[in-house]
């Protein structure tokens, strides 16, 4: 149930999870937030899971103790270390201190609620986890990269590793001195923006939803009623959904309302099918890229 609720929240808020582990009394997520919406994502997930948990166990009230802790990570220097720390969590407690390396390794391989097995075997992957980002640092998402990551994780059992998140105590930034200073400068330059909002979010605000719909209709040569006709699942309608998602600061539920009153799961599934078709159909990809480039040109004129 936990993973089902997590998958939905990731989809709704366009958050990408790179690694996770569930422990008896806590959990760790390693995520990227292209839209700078970590707070909204965590709020949605925590509320949806708590509600489901309370219903199942016939209880009321809070489930978690206090607010979650978050750290901004210098990916080039610490992404691998943080992913290893997360994946080693099941055997880092005092309970397992006396265990041999082989025993700890076997426990990790059989831990049921972790993304680790998907890093070792493509057949054991969760469809909501992005394994590629971390494996890029090991040579790629291929046999050699997965084997290199396996050795990297196992090497962590053979040494007394420090918790990389300790670097973030005090300022919430896991990175070297130069990275910390860079982030502080960026925050000072954008005092009115939220800490979790990157420049991409400002770009997405360049179009109000209705404004974008007008532009897409003009470029495609169809009216809004034609594209958003109820019960019609045309490729133009799906492309409009995708453009709304990429260029406007709105969620999938809001997109569903704008394109004819469909729920967020229908929007999500339609967008996933579009991504597959863009890979498989060159002509559709050209049409999609042409529309997207036209929108980028409009943004440049605004700037």
**CA angle at 132 for the pair 130 and 135, rounded to the nearest 5°:** 130
Query: Which residues, listed in sequence order, are joined to residue 31 by a DSSP beta bridge?
Result: 17
**What's the pLDDT at 179?**
84
pTM as predicted? 0.65
**What's the pLDDT at 194?**
46
Half-sphere exposure of 63 (CA within 13 A, CB side): 19
Report yes or no: 227 and 254 within 8 Å, Cβ to Cβ: no
CATH class of the region 2-177 = alpha beta
**What's the pLDDT at 202?**
46
**What's the pLDDT at 231?**
62
**What's the pLDDT at 300?**
59
Query: Which residues, listed in sequence order, are joined to residue 17 by a DSSP beta bridge?
Result: 31, 129
Return the closest-CA partner of residue 164 out of 83, 104, 92: 83
- How far, in Å, CA of 140 to CA of 149, rounded? 10
- How far, in Å, CA of 191 to CA of 66, rounded? 27
The ranges assigned to domains in the chain are: 2-177, 205-302
Domain 205-302 has CATH 1.10.1750.10: yes
**What's the pLDDT at 187?**
67
Exposed, middle or buried, 259 (CB in 10 Å: 0-12/13-18/19+)? buried
Per-residue pLDDT of the chain (303 residues; tens, 9 = 90+): 999 999 989 988 889 999 999 998 899 999 998 878 898 899 999 988 999 999 999 998 888 888 889 999 998 889 999 999 999 999 988 888 889 999 999 999 999 999 999 999 999 999 899 999 999 999 899 999 999 999 999 999 988 888 999 988 878 899 888 888 888 777 655 554 444 444 444 444 568 899 999 999 999 999 999 998 766 678 999 999 989 987 887 888 889 999 988 887 888 889 888 888 887 888 898 898 888 788 877 875 664
Report yes or no: 209 and 244 within 8 Å, Cβ to Cβ: yes
Q: Roughly how many angstroms between the first and final C-alpha of the chain, as a whole number?
A: 45
Query: Which residues, listed in sequence order, are joined to residue 72 by a DSSP beta bridge?
Result: 173
Return the closest-CA partner of residue 88 out of 162, 17, 16, 148: 162
**What's the pLDDT at 230?**
61
Using H for helix, E for strand and C for coil, what is the string for the chain? CHHHHHHHHHHHCCCEEEEEEECCCCEEEEEECCCCCHHHHHHHHHHHHHHHHHHHHCCCCCCCCCCCCCCEECHHHHHHHHHHHHHHHHHCCHHHCCCCHHHHHHHHHHCCCECHHHHHCHHHCCCCECCHHHHHHHCCCCHHHHHHHHHHHHHCCCCCCCCHHHHHCCCCEECCHHHHHHHHHHHHHCCCCCCCCCHHHHHHCCCCHHHHHHHHHHHHCCCHHHHCCCCCCCHHHHHHHHHHHHHCCCCHHHHHHHCCCCCHHHHHHHHHHHHHHHHHCHHHHHHHHHHHHHHHHHHHHHC
């Amino acid at each position: 149930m936990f993973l089902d609720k997590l998958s939905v929240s990731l989809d709704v808020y366009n958050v990408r999870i790179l690694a996770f582990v569930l422990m008896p009394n806590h959990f760790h997520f390693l995520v990227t937030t292209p839209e700078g919406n970590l707070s909204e994502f965590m709020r949605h997930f925590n509320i949806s899971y708590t509600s489901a948990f309370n219903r199942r166990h016939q209880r009321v009230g809070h489930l978690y103790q206090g607010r979650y802790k978050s750290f901004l990570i210098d990916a080039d220097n610490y992404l691998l270390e943080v992913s290893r720390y997360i994946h080693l969590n099941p055997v880092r407690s005092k309970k397992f201190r006396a265990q041999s390396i082989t025993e700890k390794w076997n426990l990790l391989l059989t831990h049921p609620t972790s993304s680790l097995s998907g890093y070792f075997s493509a057949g054991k992957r969760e469809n909501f986890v992005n394994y590629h980002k971390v494996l890029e640092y090991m040579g790629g998402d291929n046999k050699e990269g997965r084997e290199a990551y396996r050795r990297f994780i196992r090497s962590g059992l053979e040494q007394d590793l420090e918790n990389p998140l300790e670097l973030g105590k005090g300022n919430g930034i896991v990175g070297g001195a130069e990275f910390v200073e860079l982030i502080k400068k960026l925050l000072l330059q954008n005092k009115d923006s939220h800490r979790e909002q990157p420049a991409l979010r400002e770009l997405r605000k360049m179009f109000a939803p209705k404004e974008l719909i007008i532009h897409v209709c003009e470029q495609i040569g169809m009216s809004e009623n034609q594209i958003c006709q109820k019960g019609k699942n045309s490729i133009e309608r799906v492309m409009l959904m995708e453009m709304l998602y990429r260029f406007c600061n709105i969620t999938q539920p809001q997109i569903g309302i704008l394109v004819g009153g469909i729920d967020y799961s229908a929007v999500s599934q339609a967008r996933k099918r579009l991504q597959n078709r863009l890979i498989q159909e060159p002509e559709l990809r050209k049409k999609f890229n042409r529309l997207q480039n036209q929108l980028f040109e409009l943004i440049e004129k605004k700037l």
